[in-house]
Amino acid sequence: MALKVKPGGKVLGIILILGGIYAGKIFWWDKRPQAAKASTEIGKVSLPDAPEASLSGNAAKLGFPSPEDAANGGTKVSWKIMAWNSQFPLMYANGGARTTKGSLVDKANMQIEIVRQDDCNKSIADMVKFAQDYKSNPNTTGVFASFMGDGMPMFFAALAKELEPLGPEYQPIAFYSMGKSYGEDKLMGPAEWKADPKSALGKTVACVLRDGDMNILVKWAGDNGLRVNPDETSFDRNAINLIAANDFLDAANKYIAGYSESRKLIENGKKIAKDTTVGVDGVATWTPGDVNIAQKKGGLINIATTREYAAQMPNITITIKKFANDHRTDIENLIVALAQAGDQVRSFNDAKQFAADVSAKVYNEQDGAYWLKYYNGGEEKDAQGVNVHLGGSMAYNLADAANMFGLGDDKLDRYRIVYGTFGDILVKMYPELVPAYPVYNKVVDKSFLASVVSNHPELLAGSAIREKYAEEITSEVSSRSVQVQFETGSSVIRPESYAALDDILKSAVVAEGLKLGIYGHTDNVGNDAANVKLSNARAESVKAYLRDKGLSAARLESKGYGASRPEADNGTAEGRARNRRVQIVLGN
């Protein structure tokens, strides 16, 4: 017969059981090695080809608008933007924080209020609320938002999920790019990282997680064969570790303030009970974050920036699909206004100053001289007397926007490559959080821009941005070896290597500000002269492949070194195999 336990005995039993569980947790469970999230091998990633272009010949300079608010009765839009100098065309076109009389936006019969909003999550929430309101009231004020192009896979994934209940017509779409970061977004770190990228292993970088500036870090790491630890609660000596920041200014402030935190150590791929304290070694940020670092503390230099990764970070503007389609004429007229503004900013210094003055009013920070200085970008000494390049953005004209979306002469859709490159990295680093991201063609609608390009050829008279490349690479930003398969004793590339070469192409597209070096190497089997000749021919074959895919000849250099630069022991079969390689260098 079963014995009944008295209530008091039950309570005592429960207490003993819970005590045992707690003791087990403290003395065994918490101290056991825990599986750590694997540091991510990013792999080599690339970007596309697109400096300051201007109108040629008898450029028509436009007059400045009145400071008085416009009252044209046209379509109303609230435009959410970060403090970012790539938006100079919008500042010029709008005439002020609100559309002013005689401005290009006024002539487009629109009324736009530009709102500074550095928190991208708030912009996403505003877009969701707008879609909900617009579905029930088509007279609702429209909402646009502008984001860093390489971060859009994350933003689109979040937005698409939130908007799914409203139906396909209420999904987000991107329709234009008014400019790009051209140096101000960057990875800053100790000088030794520049000399030897492997010295960044076991160090930390403060950044906004899964944000555009973090992408500069992961691209630089991938191009140099370095792993990145995606878990901000652990520390891996064999990877670059991330310290989460609330926004790009907080990332800089953590370095300036000497911030530190406790982390679980990773050993043999597992988190262990032992803790370590880490500080901030490097920062991924943009202006004015980089300016604050230089002026308030110093000691960091630019490791990689969007001046080198020049196609990585276009300014991408989005809205809701149905609003765009319902206001197609407005959207196209707006693109015309922004394209004209881009040409004015690129062609005339006082137009650029006007845009900077509007920026100061919109951002409610500093003055026009400040924003103009860091739009142009330039070198100055930091608090420790070290020269560092700060700032740098670029306004787009119509030709630049067309080139970004594959509507230019070369038909190379640079933004497709950027979007896919960083979307794939996001999924690779955070598969649980972002298992997938929206397909490019569903979230990028080029029809508005294509219509303007077709109907306004006069706006294409402004020359597009063209990089100038050195005759020879003298400074490396990244270097990585690739095993390209050739026919035996030949420079003919085997088809199974095409995918690896296409990845190199993508990397070069993203890093359009850098020259691409292709260097052939062999093992030590055979005659030295023959090896040099073969390695040179193989490097030339890779160069020809990339040139045929659309890279300009001015960007490419190739050399063959034979067996003179081994990276492994030629005394073993494995070592000889590693030495038969093509080295890809991005530099200037």
Domains of the chain as residue ranges with CATH: 75-180+311-461 (3.40.190.10), 186-305 (3.40.190), 476-587 (3.30.1330.60)
State pTM to two decimals.
0.83
Return the structure tokens found at 543. 């160069």
Specify burial of residue 573 (Cβ count, 10 A radius: 0-12, 13-18, 19+): exposed
Burial class (CB in 10 A: 0-12, 13-18, 19+), 495: exposed
Number of helices (H), then strands (E), in the chain = 20, 23
Helices (H), 397-475: 398-404, 414-429, 440-443, 447-455
Q: Digits of tens for pLDDT over the chain (588 positions)?
A: 333 334 444 344 444 444 554 445 444 444 444 455 555 555 544 444 333 545 665 567 899 999 999 999 999 999 999 999 999 999 999 999 999 999 999 999 999 999 999 888 899 999 999 999 999 999 999 999 999 999 999 999 999 999 999 999 999 999 999 999 999 999 999 999 999 999 999 999 999 998 889 999 999 998 898 999 999 999 999 999 999 999 889 999 999 999 999 999 998 888 888 999 999 999 999 988 999 999 999 999 999 999 999 999 999 999 999 999 999 999 999 999 999 999 999 988 899 999 999 999 999 999 999 999 999 999 999 999 999 999 999 999 999 999 999 999 888 899 999 999 999 999 999 998 889 999 999 999 999 999 999 999 888 878 777 778 888 888 888 888 888 888 888 899 989 989 889 888 888 888 888 889 999 999 999 899 999 999 999 999 999 999 888 888 888 999 999 999 999 999 999 998 888 989 988 888
How many CA atoms does the CB half-sphere of 302 hold within 13 Å?
29
Query: Which ranges in 319-348 belong to alpha helices (H)?
Result: 321-326, 328-347
* CA–CA dist 50, 413 (Å, integer): 10
Helix (H, G, I), strand (E, B) or coil at 383: coil
Cross-sheet strand order for the sheet of 282-285: 40-41, 227-229, 240-244, 204-207, 282-285, 186-189, 301-305
